[in-house]
Structure 1
């Protein structure tokens, strides 16, 4: 039987792949056989080395995802140097924290532009190539705050709620074109974005008490979900938001 999780011959682009969730997903896809373009403002040299150690090609693509200036060139360079683009993982994201009464327009725009606007236009650029190619997979990184309100993260909540809605819209428009658009909603994962919460003794305790698994997630916990959505095993999965949260949403 053919292994549905075999990604040999496929090319993936992963944004924000220098560390954390993006790095873990990039390495999982490489271990399954994909060549990987590593996209972001910070050169993902360490990730590239690990991808190559897994026997796959790695391409570092410098791009500023706080604007839409680089999105077309990301696809062009990936296709030009790696030959195709089968999988896009929209992982890059930022967060700003402040009370809603004090939240600034600068912090609003910075987060929404990076987390939502650039995600849409990069997906659009990738999908145009995928339509010509005959199909592809787009995986967005959503959040528990795609479902919940949270506190002190107004622009992040707005952007991740938007990611959830956009995932469904793009699935509706592109499923018949052979493009699967889905999302992963990570729970509380130990990354740079959650360092402030981990360091806050009271909040950290509250979070752990709510998680049935009893621990913070690790970036590697997202790898299997990403591989499923990137592979032919998910060919009939469209517009789904898969929570990987230690049971948080079930509580």
Structure 2
């Protein structure tokens, strides 16, 4: 991605990106840093080394290995970001747990794990960050949803349902904070060739079946998602809120 110019520049802005050690989160963090933002790169403790390596390659960035999920972890992550860089102007909500299971035998503990990360603590993090944006009169909240919010995978009922709930939550938020200079939007990736999807896409039969449902005729890349994310986090999208941009090669059509 070439260096952004004009309204796409984010010089002086502070961004917090969750789920950013690899894949889509890492690509978005890299794009924001390339546009001039100082980025707090968050991912789970198990990916601490990857998180630190990614942050080390970005001017002014910091790594915050920290697990979302436990009660109160959203507020604690917000505090860690403020201590490291200052209050975030941009919040990218990419952290998520995805657990496959047939709906009628889905484990309640697995449901709780997905609910805690994908929505509950994502919302408590938003509660801790967005009021400061509103006070300062500028802010960007970006949720990373999924094509599954519209086309749910039969073995990911909980994950798909929570992505739909994230969309509803951020549209609700966008309406309430728009007059304070804060936008809340989403991108909805489709079949993206990332480490999370590597095992599934390694299966030739599954890969061919998935590809047949994509009008663009190829799988997406994390960088495809980063371009849309950078737009929504910049001044170029100052009059865009409550939007959900599909980044799926037409898969949702």
Partner of 1:48: 55
Partners of 1:199 and 1:101 in 2: CA distance: 27
Partner of 1:221: 224
Gaps in structure 2 of 5+ consecutive residues? none
**How far is 1:235 from its partner?**
0.7
Partner of 2:60: 57
Partner of 1:79: 82
Partner of 1:107: 110
**How far is 1:215 from its partner?**
1.3
The reply on whether 1:200 has 2:203 as its aligned counterpart is yes
The reply on whether 1:16 has 2:23 as its aligned counterpart is no
Partners of 1:46 and 1:61 in 2: CA distance: 12
Query: Given that residues 98 and 152 in structure 1 are in contact (C-alpha distance below 8 angstroms), is that contact kept between their aligned partners in structure 2?
Result: yes
The reply on whether 1:143 has 2:150 as its aligned counterpart is no
1:96-122 residue CA offsets vs partner (Å, 9 max, x unmatched):
111112111011111121111111111
Partner of 1:181: 184
Give SS of 2:68's match.
Answer: coil
Query: Given that residues 181 and 239 in structure 1 are in contact (C-alpha distance below 8 angstroms), is that contact kept between their aligned partners in structure 2?
Result: yes
Match 2:95 to one of 92, 95, 114: 92
With normalisation by structure 2, the TM-score equals 0.92
**How far is 1:22 from its partner?**
0.6
**How far is 1:161 from its partner?**
0.9
Partners of 1:71 and 1:121 in 2: CA distance: 5
**Alignment root-mean-square deviation, CA:** 1.4
With normalisation by structure 1, the TM-score equals 0.93
**How far is 1:174 from its partner?**
1.4
Partner of 2:122: 119
1:185-218 residue CA offsets vs partner (Å, 9 max, x unmatched):
0010112332342133222111101112211111
Partners of 1:99 and 1:164 in 2: CA distance: 23
Match 1:211 to one of 210, 214, 218: 214
Query: Given that residues 52 and 62 in structure 2 are in contact (C-alpha distance below 8 angstroms), is that contact kept between their aligned partners in structure 1?
Result: no
**4+ residue segments displaced more than 3 Å:** none
Partners of 2:194 and 2:115 in 1: CA distance: 20
Partners of 1:162 and 1:212 in 2: CA distance: 27
Query: Given that residues 99 and 152 in structure 1 are in contact (C-alpha distance below 8 angstroms), is that contact kept between their aligned partners in structure 2?
Result: yes
